[in-house]
Amino acid sequence: QVQLVESGGGLVQAGGSLRLSCVASGSSFIGAMAWHRQAPGKKRELVARITADGSPNYADSVKERFTISRDNAKNAVYLQMNTLKPEDAAVYYCHVVVWGHSYWGQGTQVTVSS
């Protein structure tokens, strides 16, 4: 069973930065890793995804502001969020795929004050 532990959320002023971390345990191999977010009253959406070999892709709304990266030795994925906007406020969820199975973290709250 794969478990995900997220950290790094919090309150930040608009224009500020946060770095989210997610560490996976329970498997020696982790496939694609991603961050999703869900704001109140909205559907969960993909923010950024990174393949096992390190190829990233981003939602248009966060391109040029967010950077996803991973450390395969630590089974970790990170999301560096810069120039945060009030519309980035949401619960951010880590998501990984391991041998075709999907796993989600518990979510970490990001609040952006204007």
Structure tokens that stand for 70 in this block: 């991973």
Burial of 71 (0-12, 13-18, 19+ CB in 10 A): exposed
Q: What distance separates the 2 farthest-apart alpha carbons in the chain? A: 42
Q: Which residue has the tokens 């704001």?
A: 39
The per-residue pLDDT for range 73-112, each reduced to its tens digit, is: 999 999 999 999 999 999 999 999 998 899 999 999 999 9
Q: pLDDT tens for residues 3-12?
A: 999 999 999 9
Q: How many CB atoms lie within 10 A of CB 100?
A: 6
Check residue 32 and give its pLDDT.
Answer: 95
Q: How far apart are CA 101 and CA 114, in angstroms?
A: 39
